[in-house]
Structure 1
Amino acid sequence: MALQMLLFRMLVLVMCSVNAFARASNVISTSCPQDCGNNVSIPYPFGIGKDCYVGDWFEIVCRNDSYNDPGFPKVPFLKRFDLEVLEINIDFLGTVRVSYPIFSSCTGGTNSTNNLKLEKSPFAFSANENSFVGMGCSNSASLQIRSLHDDTLSFSGCTTPCDRGPFTNGRFCNATNCCQITIPFNLQAFNTTIEPKSSEYCNYAFLVDQNWFENNFTELSELSTNPNMSVPVVLDWGIDNTSFYSLPIRKNSTAREYKNSTYSCGWRYITLGNGTQNYTNLCGCRSGYRGNPYLLGGCEDIDECADPDLNTCAHTRCENTEGSFHCVVAKNIKLFIIIVKYIGVSASLGVLFLIFGGWWSYKVIKKRMRIKRKEKLFKQKCGLLLEQQISTNSKDKVENTKLFNSKELEKATDRFCADRIIGHGGQGTVYKGMLADGRIVAIKKSNVIDEEKLQEFLNEVVILSQINHRNVVKLLGCCLETEVPLLVYEFIPNGTLAQYLNGQNEEFPPTWDMRLRIAIEVSGALFYLHSVASSPIYHRDIKSTNILLDDKYRAKVADFGISRSVAIDQTHLSTLVHGTFGYIDPEYFLSGQFTDKSDVYSFGVVLVELLTREKAISSSRTRDIKSLAAFFVSSMEGNNLFDILDNQVLNEVEKEKIITVANLAKRCLNLNRKDRPSMREVARELEANQMSPKVSNLQEKYGEI
């Protein structure tokens, strides 16, 4: 009987183990191929073969394009699009790199082609990762996009200067025979047009992965012999609701398991074929885990103790825990045992040991007190505030922000030497520094130990951790173990837009094209904050000193200390009035209610600065009108626009284009916020002005001055 009971218990144990294994398994068949012979990993929800992918859009076929010649390796293709797959990214960004053909024309006339592969799919060309490029001699390359909402057309493009030589003469697309522009968000279908001025050379227009293009620009010299070559392009993707709820992680998990799981899911919207913005789903492993978040049990615990870069237990013992780790301080009494054991051997030796032991103990105690003091500073001054911010924002993104230690940043700035100061602001002082790995960074140090300022610093950490845009300054991390917090950003070398407009830069003067490009980049970043980010973000302090210029004079919006995230259905933010005089929305100043149109007003002031090179507030103007916004509107209403514009603007561009931008700035500065355009409309109209060779139709739309 006892033997039977023992066998029964063993059987139950085995069945429980098998059941647990089945629940933790990836559900997807183990026979599904993991690659296609070219070292490209094919992770679920993509897959090769039946039941290996979540839906038809994600089916991969493995083949070669050399007429099935066995001498050529097989490569993966997205079956629905017939595009070769170069890389698949399944983290929260959700991207896939594919090989996309270049459009070329060697006939000399106007040529067009349709790009409709992604139409009505859960895929779109990534606006953050891709650029539209035109190459050739005097080539006018453009994108024509039809809106699915109102069936209207919009244009974007650029023209290549010509030196009648090879168009890859140089390392970057910044001179002759080449031009590039950004693309709109959620781009799926478009028409590409080439209008060459000369038939002597071939001309090209194509979308391309921006990072690949900058690092492999010279490889495009092959275009002269292979005009039909392809280049890498990055696609954003998401999973529609029907397919999402059939995923193993949703179909095989209870509500409680999902809540306590090792992964989390979010969403992005991609405009589908019916013209509506449909929300698609994306998942990722939580902090402390890595793996495939789309498979049941696919996210596995990271052993932080196995990698010194993943834990902070520099002088203590590290113990790994589920999803995290903790440091264990061992009591060191070995030295005292040695002293007691040999105390009677020799008085001199004993004294020596006592001296050494006392000195060592003093060092250890002092070091531990310093560590505890830093921990106390973090908990008392920063930790609680940061936890409050995390509880109302994306926890995973904030926790992934790197925490620097104070010694590292002191070394990077020569102990915050005054010679390293590159700027001052209302929140703190900015230093230029170099990290141990050679990266040049900007480090912002708060001026005072004030809870309100700490709140602004920590708010900037949370806001910037949620943003991924090429025209927003990138936050690399922060340090919270000092008396005042430190923020670490990417270094932007060419100062602020205000310095650029008010200085005399003979090498790169602020031409009309450069001013218009900066306005397009800033408006695109604000449109991203208002409408594309997972939660709408109001910047609340847009001004020319908060717009930085990188090494290629591309705009980077900075200083998010007083920015705020709002709920998707929230129309305004009621707060005490914050901002900079001369840029503050008058309606916000009177009502205390900040909306997205308040950022539009501030951008309108920046747009006027670009047109006039005047400061937002100046005592040199009339006594009654010190504000640039009021002075500009008054001049337009008095038919005196061209008297206040910068001479370089008047000498470079047609007056019709100036009038169009001036009318747009005036609409942004409307005292009634309801009559101001949205940042989406502002960005579109600036891009249309950049492209249009003639603006008579725009002039008819908005009227003459």
Structure 2
Amino acid sequence: MHPKQMVLLAFYICELILKLIMAQTITRGTNVTKPGCPKQCGNITVPYPFGIGSGCAFDSGFEIDCNIYINGSQKALIGKYNIEVYDISDAELRISSDFGWRCYDSTGALLDQDMVSITFLESSPYSFSALNRFTVVGCDDYGSILGPNNFEYGCNVSCTSKEDVMNGGECMGKGCCQKQIPKGLKYYNTTMSSTGNHTDVWSFNSCGYAFLGEADRFLFRGLPDLGDDLTVDYFYERLKATVPIVLDWAIGSLTCAQALKREDYACRENSHCVDSDTGLGGYRCSCNTGYHGNPYFNQGCQDIDECADPSTNLCERICINIPGSYNCSCPDGYTDDGKNDGRGCIPPYSVFPWIKFSLGIGIGFISLVVGITWLYFSIKKRKLIKVKEKFFQQNGGLLLKQTISTKEGGVEATRIFTAEELKKATNSYANDRILGRGGNGIVYRGVLRDTRIVAIKKSRIVDESQIDQFINEVVILTQINHRNVVRLFGCCLEDEVPLLVYECVSEGNLYEHIHNQRGEGWLTWQNRLRIAAETATALAYLHSFASMPIIHRDVKSANILLDNVYTAKVADFGASRLIPLDQTHVATLVQGTSGYLDPEYFRTSQLTDKSDVYSFGVVLAELLTGLKPVIRDINDEQKNLADYFVSSLNNNLLFQIINRRVLQEGNLEQLQKMAELVKNCLNLQGEDRPTMKEVAIELECLRKLTGVSLSNQHGQGDNDHDDLSDLYTVPIDPYGNTPNSDSSHILHPTYIPS
């Protein structure tokens, strides 16, 4: 047998099975006909108010014709319209569907077409149900459905290849589209058109189709192995066999309230009236709860004996049927309601232990709540532990443990804090505990259990490729023990980002003191020299530490912290940067602060210890001049302090830019040597700069150098500055503010050399 014939045969079999199922699923109230009238037409049961033949229906609109064919088969037809009926239920009919089409040849010429038009007269009990959908199938078609009152819905389908066609899903426009119709539609007709007359898709789709049918029965098929809805003969047979049109039906055009007043009211005893929801009026009848049968006949709705079937009642012992319902009772001597879902039947002489029962229920409920709560928190705790373990491993915790275990004294030097410990130390990272914010994270003030005050820094998210470098730097920094380096006590790896725990330095940073944000009363020339020497010593120590030198990368006055006795502490290096040093050839890894950044490093991306020397030279220039690393000239253009300082020195204008207090307290030799040291540090060629060790030695020598201050050389005391006028030109406030007692002595030349 040809495969196509096998497919058609399968559909005929499906149609027969479908009709058998429909015959077995007739709802309550449709199993009785008028006496003497046929009940069946083939496999279709025809219940009243419908009837087969004249006089068997409620009126002529409900008459069904039963056609008998030569082969003995029977088909039920709506008499006036010669439309086959598949099923009749309480509120609906299912009838055979029809469809329209337009077919083209390969050149785009129209071969054949047929449009659908189905009409039910206004007086008929039928209208098209909203369970139907108007459907268009094809790949180059537009179809529309038209009805009364200028009702029109259009639907467009398109597809360029077989692969575009959606298979087995909703109709969304690729090969198939659908539109819902309104309730109460009495007639419709279809029209179709095509944009390209199927010339682009003719190889797999030469026709377009339009039809109305039950939405739940139509599942579009676009693949040949499942049956191709884009093929006309196959599509026609499948549609007729499986996709009916659903009709709503109702008696007359009156509402229930209106029909009750008429003699021809159709609903009989033990039934009630249901208004049609089609918007056309009319009503149907339904048996009351507890009754079944045909509500259109006298005594048609009969009482259901719920007691005959134990599954239809809730009685525990005795069931008593009553019209429309039933009652439950208990044998003599038994008490209570006798229902399975109630209190049942209690034996005689037994007293229900209400107190014990209530106590047991209460204890059981409390136990249940406690158990669920315990289970919830246990699961939550387990998830939290897993998350912490994940972060610990992700942040290199196992590697850190392994590393410190192989280093002598590492366990004592390095401490791994828990997330809960640091959360408690910072009061859950409260805003009032924030010490500062920066590009690398937020620093919080924390108090550990041993009452130590620490600074806890939340770093940025660490790239997995940087974990090894991060761990190595943490281990090295925790072993550094230098009085001028902020000590790293340890870290926490149980959070999404690493948390670093430093010693807390109380008096802010050098930048704040130089630029009068905390007051500079203590910041004498000797203190400036001391801080510079301490910082240089710390940086020299880092550059030469063990076999792995540490390059700070961001030396600036803001990263030089001061403790309660104003001792310098270098901070924010090593682990806080989290960028491997072996990637300095990548331009995007250049890192630093504007005004402090080594121009050679910026230009070549080659990071060396001389980059720190350049940045430290800018810090020395800040200490000498009191100016910020980036300043503005008289034309309001930004200039680097480094360029400005070197230019002033080369043009013999040094004493015009030095801080007035420094001039008063420092001697000429100290200032000149300090200026030369700054100039050497700021050399554009890194190889021409001194090392930090050489800078530290030079600064220590300057501290020991004694001599007469410039103010004493000119014969005046601290409060008389007039005789220093030969060292200055016109005073200019470098900050653009009104000069105060601390900054008014800083004077600039009338122009800034480029």
The TM-score bracket by the shorter chain reads 0.3 to 0.5
Which is higher, the Rg of structure 1 or of structure 2? 2
TM-score, with normalisation over the residues of structure 1? 0.45
TM-score, with normalisation over the residues of structure 2? 0.42
Task: Specify which structure has the bigger relative contact order, considering alpha-carbon pairs within 8 angstroms and separated by 6 or more residues.
Answer: 1
